[in-house]
Structure 1
Amino acid sequence: MPELLWPVSGSIAYGGDYNPEQWPREVWDEDVALMREAGVNLVSVGIFSWAMLETEEGVFDFAWLDELLDLLHANGIAADLGTPTVSPPAWFFATYPDARVIDADGVVKGFGSRGMASHASPEYREAIVRIAGVLAARYADHPAVVMWHVHNEYGVPVAEDFSPRAVVAWQTWLQERYGSLDALNAAWGTAFWGQRFARWEHVVAPAATPSTINPSMKLDWARFTDDALRDCFRLERDTIRARATQPITTNFMAHQSWNTDLWKWAREVDIVSDDHYLWSPDPEAHVALALSADLTRSVARGRPWILLEHSTSAVNWQGRNIAKRPGEMSRNALTHLGRGADGIMFFQWRASRSGAEKFHSAMLPHAGVNSRVFREVTELGAQLGRLGEVQDSRVQADVAVLYDWESMWAQDLEWRPSDALSFRERMRTYYERLWRDGVPVDFAHPDDDLSGYRLVVAPASYLLTQRSADNLTAFVAGGGTLLVSAFAAAVDEHDTVHAGGFGAPLRDALGLVVEEYRPLREGDEITIDVVDGDSTTSLVSRDWTEDLALAGAQAWATYSGAPEGGPETGGPAVTRHEHGEGVGWYVGTTLDVAGLAPVLAAVYADAGITPATTPDGVEVMVRHAAEASYVVAVNHTLADAAVPATGTDLLTGAEIDGELTLPAGAVAVVRTTPALDRSATTPTSEGLPSLAGAALAGR
């Protein structure tokens, strides 16, 4: 098979979802003319068009899609051709009512929304293979088609299915995973509450029950659901691949979707792509955006990826859908680019007049071409058109943040010591501290080869296998610095407490024993003292503490002024332990972003990492190529800022000699030649922190 090519060779892909089936034919010509004006070079088509393509079972109408693809190609616009399997037609559910999803309460989900049919339905699986096959056979050689887009946002809004067919598939999956009922009963601890199974057909799905469901069962159910969704993807992908050579993707939702393990999914696609939408209640949602972008690049193993959807302004599905401020769309887009995206796409091209998303923003809004949004869309297209040389440059990082979807699934189940300690909250808090310090990060799985990093941070590793713990211990022994947050290594892959107690697999790396978890009452807080010579810094912690017994580690910070139910005054809160050639740090409590600052400062010193000195709220990212580096600077503040840089601003053509003046809300992309030194760990002569560390590609 020929080598797979980047969809828009030598350029940053720019465009969005295009749904021309919602509009009269004469609108299409206007659309493509405006796309050219806006600099659009790629659109995603066909994603929700199953009912128009297969009008009855086995009866197809391709005339409109033929015309559309020809029109796009004639105007120099490429197509990311979707398979429409996220939204089966009305005739499908009328013919196969058993293909509908049933939720945990036994409610059958009806037609009229969006989302996947039952992943276990043989009729659904047969139908998705059929529609994918006929599309691939017809359009594999069409010159407009440069990429295939399978389904849409797997697991959103429907992932779990409790239908009888899904339960049978679940039982089969468990037999393949465990081999015997004895092994299943041991893994799930079914001796507790008398839950032992004697026959496979008695193994139920974790649907609604009078009390809390067996957590080991629920963890496996999450794995099963993820596998079942991915199996449906593979059916379509393999059907397309048998006929077509273009790259195949499906759009992830990194850090915004709960149901899919993207480390596994990323191995199945040719190009990683992601959808990201700002969360309106978050006043600094750009930090979460950066997190999602770094996570997407990391599951892509450092290779270029595509932002396949984001919004030009407000979305339609949040409680209060806040419009983006002037310039915010460009800041969002350039942040994704700075963190490795080689495609910037939106949902959608033209705003829909009807349906559930009519209040969702678009590249061409209801207000038309004389609107601020369309002017900014056109300006962004012109900016990206100047950045083609950035394509295929790579981001480098010295720090890895551990991210494991299975640990998230387990940690966020019921009946944990405190519902205030969540995977996402801890991940955001630690990431934001690194973001504010200007320290670039990759995300990594706990089993990954971590030897290329100086520092590994584990904000939320509640579930940690012995294999992963051994990997982290070897990383420390080999000279690395490890920072572990509270509630870590509590359980193994079955959600079973480790033999030896909480945190036992990391005792060598951390030099301590976790004797007891001591969550605080809501509203309580505890003081933590950091003593440095004659000075003491006091930090405040809420929600969570632990009783730690030192077994080689030193107490770097201790509790004082403990509330009732908290640890004793003088007890260790933050510890440091030298193991082999490296250092293991443990934070046995919850600190906020500000509270983590002194902790991370000490950790950076151990790891040999120099934080950036850019103003707070100014984001500076660097992408590296063989002959040049590209400094992407984004000012999220309302004041002008100075950023150290030397080179050419590709957006304006201005020459920068030592200092870039970045106006409030502005963006810049500065080409620096020769390329910045990627082996140093201190600021370069240009005043920018270098981003050292092994590339993820090939790990």
Structure 2
Amino acid sequence: MGFGGDYNPEQWPMATRLEDIQLMREAGVNIVSLAIFSWATIEPREGKYDWAWLDNMMDRLSAAGIRVALATATASPPPWLTVAHPEILPVLADGTVLGQGGRQSYAISSKVYRDYAVKMASAVAERYAGHPALALWHVDNEIGCHVPHDYSEAAEKSFRAWLIKRYKSINSLNDAWGTAFWSQKYNSFKDIQPPRSAPTYANPTQQLDFARYSSDTLLSYYTLLRDAVRKITPGVPITTNFMVGPGTKWMDYYRWGDEVDVVATDHYTVSADAEREVELALAADMTRGTAKGKPWILMEHSSGAVNWQPRNRAKGPGEMLRNSLAHVARGADSVMFFQWRQSKAGAEKFHSSLVPHAGRDSQIWSDSVRLGETLRAIAPVRGARVQARAAIVFDYVNWWAVELDSHPSEDVTAFDRLRALYRELWRRGVTVDVVNPTADLSGYDLVLVPTLYLVTDEGAANIAAAAERGASVLITYFSGIVNENDHIRLGGYPGAFRDLLGVKTDEFFPLLAGERVALDDGTTADVWTERVRVGSAEVLRSFVDGPLPGGPAVTRNVVGEGAAWYAATRQDEAGVAWLVGELLAESGVVAAASAEPGVEVVRRVGEDGASYLFVLNHTDSEVRVPANGTDLVTGAAHSGDVTVPGWGYAVVREA
């Protein structure tokens, strides 16, 4: 399995670089990402290259048996470039120009910048084509991380070109954007601008299309550099590091996943999140969905604290190791970090690393060595796939649409119900795939559809077909409301899912801040209610009070061989637990293994049929989990159950 991280030797003298090689061998590091932010070092002046230091490191790493994920060095343009070409700097919606001094100080649609980036990427590829250390191309870095939307002059022209390609005619665009509203009708594409800061709400479909355009343009930048290096090194796989998870909104990674040779992602826990292990698991499952179930690379995470949160707390006992193995349990075949050695200067000098400021005499270094040993021990897991009978339907375009302005309630968000449902399944040890609305759902007995406000006809039909085939399908409120152009599906809510659910809503009654309603099972709800009229559906839970006393809150409709459930309100934790319990009982979906709350269990299965059970104990108490087989970490044989200490873990190859 891959083990390593970002390596920045240009920050250190030769003596430290030589020590790094020895320490990497001691820890068992076998791959590093190199030259990510090295443009100004490689090309200190335009057209003048200094390769000596990088040649030396590539040769030394190769001699030590360490492979390199070599970057295109384009993630941060050098000062000489932005001084010579200030037009490449990105611009915010209010016209603010973002200057040099940080990173990613480029407008993604700027042809000038793209030409320079291709030249740099090609120069690196030509220099190291055929080098024995080269294992993987790392294109740019976290593309779109800091500037997902650019409003520069270059973006304005690029956006128009994208719209012409999408709509062909200005009449088609006017229809899609609903420009009859507020006198917005366009006579020509040349009159259209990005949705810059406006006196009031900008056209919602314009906003949605600009989000689509921005994601596509960021992706086209990746493919431009990818194709440039592929032409020179056709046999070397190519990727870029995504940031898949609830915290990264503006890149449609389902589309991006089709353009890389292997999916790679970065993930960082938030120290203020008391259940950060649940968010980590969700992000990992989302990454696996982006990879269409194939193994993937954890390109970055942290050994301890980061530098960019309001309060950057170190990780607790064994947390770094459990975080690493949680990603592996959910499909990662490589575990990498930012970064190898902790910087002594710059904005990330307090960001943790495998080699901290304290050096070898530190807990982090001990944990780094232990992780290397553990990854070598569990190497047989490599290539095995995660198995799941439950799926959560998630769509990036819906995320952008559901959180647009001028909606019934700002409290309705894309991840609120997704997180609540996922958390309950995680607590019960049920593994979940996170898939898009048009994915193949035939292998799932339970399909959860949280807050799918925007859905295409194809997506709605695909979800309905899952219920027809026999799956239990849950749809939550504010779903099926609009089509791909953000136009209301007329005839009553929930629009695309009315027939499937056997209900019809004629009006929403969102709740005010702090307002709660009671349900007839003793649970409560907040944020959302709606006036539901039941057709063929059965009412399972009703409102006791609030705007709609006696009205349906949860319904179930028999559909073909399966059933479609509707949650018309935001249930409290007990209500979600009841709902998930009923759905699991009906669908027959069970946990990977029986475990206590706070104990994570996941199974990966190899093509040879070998089964690996991961047990991660996020509590301070010793636990026992049913298992038969051999613990790859300790070598111990287990019959009946495996005992895992507090904050510990086990990886059992099952008999």
TM over 0.5: yes
The change in CA–CA distance for 1:501 and 1:57 in structure 2 (over 3 A counts) is: farther
What amino acid is the match of 2:589? Answer: I
Instruction: Give yes or no for the alignment of 1:125 onto 2:106.
Output: no
C-alpha distance after superposition, 1:384-443 (max 9, x if no partner): 111111100111110110110000001111122111111122221111111112111111
* Counterparts of 1:130 and 1:594, CA distance in 2: 58
Aligned match of 2:551: 571
Tell me the matched-pair count. Answer: 651
Instruction: Give yes or no for the alignment of 1:543 onto 2:527.
Output: yes
C-alpha distance after superposition, 1:531-561 (max 9, x if no partner): xxxxxx3211111111111111011111112
More deviation in 131-140 or 73-82?
131-140
Q: How does 1:339-358 map to 2 (within 5 A)?
A: 339-358=330-349
What amino acid is the match of 2:149? Answer: E
Q: Quick check: 1:155–1:257 contact (8 Å CA) kept in 2?
A: no
Q: Quick check: 1:44–1:80 contact (8 Å CA) kept in 2?
A: yes
**Percent of aligned pairs with the same amino acid:** 45
Aligned match of 1:658: 640
* Counterparts of 2:573 and 2:202, CA distance in 1: 34
Q: CA deviation at 1:606?
A: 2.1
Q: CA deviation at 1:59?
A: 2.2
What amino acid is the match of 1:370? Answer: D
Aligned match of 1:246: 236
What amino acid is the match of 1:247? Answer: P
Aligned match of 1:471: 462
Q: CA deviation at 1:659?
A: 0.8
Instruction: Give yes or no for the alignment of 1:192 onto 2:184.
Output: no
1:614 corresponds, among 563, 582, 595, to 595
Q: Quick check: 1:430–1:593 contact (8 Å CA) kept in 2?
A: no
Q: How does 1:75-86 map to 2 (within 5 A)?
A: 75-86=64-75
C-alpha distance after superposition, 1:110-134 (max 9, x if no partner): 0000125111111111111111111
Aligned match of 2:582: 602
* Counterparts of 2:603 and 2:7, CA distance in 1: 32
- SS of corresponding position for 2:640: strand
Aligned match of 2:165: 176
- SS of corresponding position for 1:55: coil
C-alpha distance after superposition, 1:493-515 (max 9, x if no partner): 11111122332211221111122
Instruction: Give yes or no for the alignment of 1:553 onto 2:542.
Output: no
Aligned match of 1:259: 250
Aligned match of 2:623: 641
Q: Quick check: 1:472–1:509 contact (8 Å CA) kept in 2?
A: no
Instruction: Give yes or no for the alignment of 1:334 onto 2:334.
Output: no
Q: Quick check: 2:558–2:564 contact (8 Å CA) kept in 1?
A: yes
Aligned match of 1:207: 196
Structure 2, unaligned stretches of length 5 or more?
Answer: none
* Counterparts of 1:387 and 1:638, CA distance in 2: 24
- SS of corresponding position for 2:227: helix
TM-score, normalization by structure 2: 0.98
- SS of corresponding position for 2:519: strand
C-alpha distance after superposition, 1:672-693 (max 9, x if no partner): 13xxxxxxxxxxxxxxxxxxxx
* Counterparts of 1:310 and 1:653, CA distance in 2: 28
What amino acid is the match of 2:599? Answer: V
Aligned match of 1:490: 481
- SS of corresponding position for 2:386: coil
2:566 corresponds, among 576, 586, 600, to 586
TM-score, normalization by structure 1: 0.92
* Counterparts of 1:492 and 1:355, CA distance in 2: 47
- 4+ runs of 1 displaced by more than 6 Å? none
* Counterparts of 1:159 and 1:116, CA distance in 2: 12
C-alpha distance after superposition, 1:639-671 (max 9, x if no partner): 111100011111111111111111110011011
- SS of corresponding position for 2:474: strand
Instruction: Give yes or no for the alignment of 1:457 onto 2:439.
Output: no
* Counterparts of 2:80 and 2:221, CA distance in 1: 21
Q: CA deviation at 1:70?
A: 0.4
What amino acid is the match of 1:153? Answer: E
* Counterparts of 1:224 and 1:605, CA distance in 2: 43
Q: How does 1:385-464 map to 2 (within 5 A)?
A: 385-464=376-455
Q: Quick check: 2:505–2:531 contact (8 Å CA) kept in 1?
A: yes
Q: Quick check: 2:99–2:105 contact (8 Å CA) kept in 1?
A: no
* Counterparts of 2:410 and 2:647, CA distance in 1: 37
2:268 corresponds, among 247, 266, 277, to 277
* Counterparts of 1:257 and 1:166, CA distance in 2: 21
Instruction: Give yes or no for the alignment of 1:136 onto 2:136.
Output: no
* Counterparts of 1:99 and 1:494, CA distance in 2: 31
Q: Quick check: 1:473–1:508 contact (8 Å CA) kept in 2?
A: no
Q: How does 1:495-510 map to 2 (within 5 A)?
A: 495-510=486-501
Q: Quick check: 1:398–1:441 contact (8 Å CA) kept in 2?
A: yes
